[in-house]
Amino acid sequence: MALRQPNVLPGFGLTFGFTTFFLSALVLLPLCALVLMAASMQWHDFVHVVLSPRALGSYRLSFGASFLAAAINLVFGFIIAWTLVRYEFPGRKLIDALIDMPFALPTAVSGIALTTVFAQNGWIGQYLEPLGIKVAYTWIGVTVALTLIGMPFVVRSVQPALLEVQRDLEDAAETLGAGRFYVFRRIILPTVLPALLTGFTLAFARAVGEYGSVIFIAGNLPLKTEITPLLIVIHLEEFDYKGAAALGFVMLVISFCMLLTINLLQAWGRRRHVQSAR
């Protein structure tokens, strides 16, 4: 048995076989269909769909808003994680549990709720309207929705890393005369940096593909407020399977790259953790 190392436990054949069969049927076969459908297109047609002005506009919005949302989460996610780890205040446990809400809440529900809150006459929208800030049905609304979706990823990545910052190092640095900012830059930031970047990438990856919570708050105007997943849906509704497959292929390649980045970042974080433990 070169495939696996010897082990007295039974059931490898059964569970491994079932797992690979399930994954092949449900994941590999359908993904092959997507790749082959995109590959069967003429190169000219593929480029025509993938680089059309409408597609380019949708990339700009999808990637721009996702990047901005992930950057907002990088800052506020760190602040929230810091608050939850370092301070004791009434309602802390409740807030901690609520962080996972965007994971558990269906995207369509958060979509209609956010749109209502940020619409012109909504609870928050009515105060932003006089300031000339329109959130709902603009790119700002898209960013708000993507920020909500990505928030738990940053907070949940940073929390365990912050717990590992050695408090005695901070105290020692402060006793030796280091300012708060210096301590942050030289002691706290290096420890949580891999976790912060992992959270950022996870939030970014999730936001790029997000559909349900965005389509309600985005205006869905071609070139302006149309995200790439919506453009795929529009191609499908016109029974343009090849066009949909071409755009889907582009997004799939990007998702693979980001998955790879996340794995590398996590490996980096683990390596640093091992080094600091020595």
The answer to the question of residue 9 lying near other proteins (CB under 8 A) is: yes
- 4 lines the binding site for other proteins (CB under 8 A): yes
Comparing CB distances to other proteins, the nearer of 40 and 276 is: 40
Residue selected from 39, 47, 98, 221 as contacting other proteins according to rule CB under 8 A = 98
Question: Are 139 and 61 spatial neighbours (Cβ–Cβ below 8 Å)?
Answer: yes
What burial class does residue 156 get, using C-beta atoms within 10 Å of its C-beta: 0-12 exposed, 13-18 middle, 19+ buried? middle
Site for other proteins (CB under 8 A): which residue of 45, 100, 164, 171? 100
Tell me the chain's radius of gyration from C-alpha atoms.
23
Contact call for residue 261 and other proteins (CB under 8 A):
no
Find the binder of other proteins among 50, 67, 71, 105 (CB under 8 A): 105
The secondary structure element, H or E, covering residue 274 is helix 241-277
Nearer Cβ to other proteins (139/216): 216
**Window 10-39: contact mask with other proteins (x via CB under 8 A):** xxx-xxx-xxx-xx--xxxxxx-xx--x--
Q: Smallest gap, in angstroms, from Cβ of residue 247 to other proteins? A: 9
Count the alpha carbons within 13 Å of 79 in the hemisphere toward its beta carbon. Answer: 5
CA distances from 224 to 15, 102, 128, 171, 208 (A): 49, 26, 21, 51, 16
List of residues 6+ apart from 136 with CB closer than 8 A: 115, 118, 119, 120, 122, 125, 217
Q: Residue 192 Cβ, how far from other proteins at the closest point, in Å?
A: 15
Binding test (CB under 8 A) with other proteins, winner from 48, 63, 212, 224: 212
Which is closer to other proteins, CB of 144 or CB of 194? 144
**Residue of 43, 97, 167, 181 that binds other proteins (CB under 8 A):** 97
Residue 185 lies near other proteins (rule: CB under 8 A): no
Instruction: Provide the 3-class DSSP secondary structure of residue 111.
Output: helix
Long-range contacts of 254-261 (CB under 8 A, 24+ apart): 254/208, 255/205, 255/208, 255/209, 258/201, 258/204, 258/205, 258/208, 259/205, 261/201
Q: How far is the CB of 34 from other proteins (least distance, A)?
A: 5
Give the footprint of other proteins on residues 153-182 (CB under 8 A): 180
Q: Is 208 near other proteins (CB under 8 A)? A: yes
